[in-house]
Amino acid sequence: MSHYKIILSGGGTGGHIYPAIAIANELKSRFPDAEFLFVGASDRMEMEKVPQAGYDIEGLWISGIQRKLTLRNLMFPFKLISSLLKSRKIINTFQPHVAIGTGGFASGPLLKTAISKGVPSLIQEQNSYPGITNKLLSRKVDKICVAYDGLQQFFPEEKIVLTGNPIRKDLLNLERKHIQGKDAFTLIHSKHTLLILGGSLGARRVNQLIEDKLDYFKEQNIQLIWQCGKLYYQEYKHYNDLEYVQVHAFLNNMDMAYAAADVIISRAGASSVSELCVVGKPVIFIPSPNVAEDHQTKNAKAIADKNAAILIKESELDTTFENEFDALIASSEKRQALGEHIKRLALVNATKDIVDEVVKLLKNK
């Protein structure tokens, strides 16, 4: 049977949406006749990104619980009931053969409902420290695909499969593209290139750091590809007037940017970390401290503890950034070691391995 019906849910951030789309694409290539339906939160970016990828999506009226008493928190029980009712309607109408969750608020009600209707289910956890939705679902789902070791402290061990996070195919074999990458950005080949990644919206503290250090980078003879995010582009675009700085709201040719880079500064969201492992360049992680359960610091620490990246907390940037950066630029051995160590952590077949687990659930049904 190849006319499977597959329901996927995940969203709120690119880190949850991108893996869900990658899993759907791989399933579609194996089962061209399969039908797909995504379920997301009705006011979040998945409502735009999923249709762009060519899939149908239904929205639920749901959002997370804030840590303080707010109107949104008082609305939460109503949103949850509304989402469970709508999820039941969606499951009854669509009649899926399997349900896949990649995290985010909408995947809670949808997977809970699917499980209660006897639909085989799988969740994919991107982080080294799981979110509340996946922790609650883990007791009832059939399979849990994870990207880090050590998650048996949160999930039933017999359900865990270490697969990694889905990554873009164009990031493989970048070492051959180093010259091409520098040319794509019209960079000077004899200078070190620093790539700064602040996420799609941008990272305020990282941008402030780069702005503060522009003279320092000039003294160090460094050229910058600075992806500052669309929220900050108007504020920083005038720095394009400096010949050694390129400011971008976002980068459409990420593979070329990675290929051109000698050193990368990045946030530590789960999908960024997985990509950077595949890229295999020296990385300085500056985790966002304002993320649920401080995921980013935990993700970055999991890499830094293996001597595979440098971790600098936002609170320590003023005192340690220049020392750490000086030491990295001064030593090609250190750069090479970090690049090699982080690449060893890459799980490049994640999408295929996750879909293999989905197929087992479909075949067992």
Please state the domain extents for the chain. Answer: 5-166+348-364, 169-344
User: What was the pLDDT predicted at 119?
Assistant: 98
| 219 contact partners, CB below 8 Å, separation of at least 6 | none
User: What was the pLDDT predicted at 217?
Assistant: 97
The tokens describing 122, both together, are 């799988």
User: What was the pLDDT predicted at 68?
Assistant: 64
| 150 contact partners, CB below 8 Å, separation of at least 6 | 128
Report the number of secondary-structure helices (H) and strands (E) in the chain.
Answer: 15, 13
Same fold, 5-166+348-364 and 169-344: yes
The tokens describing 9, both together, are 């849910």
Please state, in angstroms and rounded to a whole number, the distance separating the CA atoms of residues 52 and 26. Answer: 17
User: What was the pLDDT predicted at 65?
Assistant: 60
Burial code (b: 16+ CB inside 10 Å, e: under 16) for 8-37 equals bbbbbbbbbbbbbbbbbbbbbeebeebbbb
The tokens describing 12, both together, are 């709120």
Q: Is the entire prediction scored with pTM above 0.85?
A: no
Evaluate whether 275 touches 289 at the Cβ level (below 8 Å).
no
CATH superfamily name and code, 169-344: Glycogen Phosphorylase B; (3.40.50.2000)
Instruction: Name the E strands within the chain.
Output: 5-9, 35-41, 57-60, 98-101, 121-125, 143-146, 160-162, 192-197, 222-227, 245-248, 263-266, 283-285, 310-311
Evaluate whether 23 touches 163 at the Cβ level (below 8 Å).
no
Determine whether domain 5-166+348-364 maps to CATH 3.40.50.11540. Answer: no
User: What was the pLDDT predicted at 1?
Assistant: 62
Give me the DSSP letters along 62-116. --PPPSS--HHHHHHHHHHHHHHHHHHHHHHHH--SEEEE-SSTTHHHHHHHHHH
User: What was the pLDDT predicted at 115?
Assistant: 97
Query: Counting beta carbons within 10 angstroms of the beta carbon of residue 229, is it exposed (0 to 12), middle (13 to 18) or buried (19 or more)?
Result: buried
Evaluate whether 5 touches 31 at the Cβ level (below 8 Å).
no
Evaluate whether 126 touches 15 at the Cβ level (below 8 Å).
yes
The per-residue pLDDT string of the chain (365 residues; one tens digit each, 9 = 90 and over) reads 669 999 999 877 767 888 999 999 999 999 999 999 999 888 888 888 899 999 999 988 877 665 666 776 777 788 888 888 999 999 999 999 999 999 888 899 999 999 999 999 999 999 888 888 899 999 999 999 999 888 999 999 999 999 999 987 778 788 889 999 999 999 999 999 999 998 766 789 999 999 999 999 999 999 999 999 988 999 999 999 999 999 999 888 899 999 999 999 999 988 899 999 999 999 999 999 887 778 899 999 999 999 999 999 999 999 999 999 999 999 999 999 999 999 999 988 999 999 999 999 999 87
Q: Please name the amino acid found at residue 117.
A: K
Evaluate whether 150 touches 162 at the Cβ level (below 8 Å).
no
Cα–Cα–Cα angle for 265, 330, 289, rounded to 5 degrees: 25
**Integer Rg of the chain from CA:** 21
Evaluate whether 1 touches 36 at the Cβ level (below 8 Å).
no
Q: Please name the amino acid found at residue 6.
A: I
User: What was the pLDDT predicted at 84?
Assistant: 87
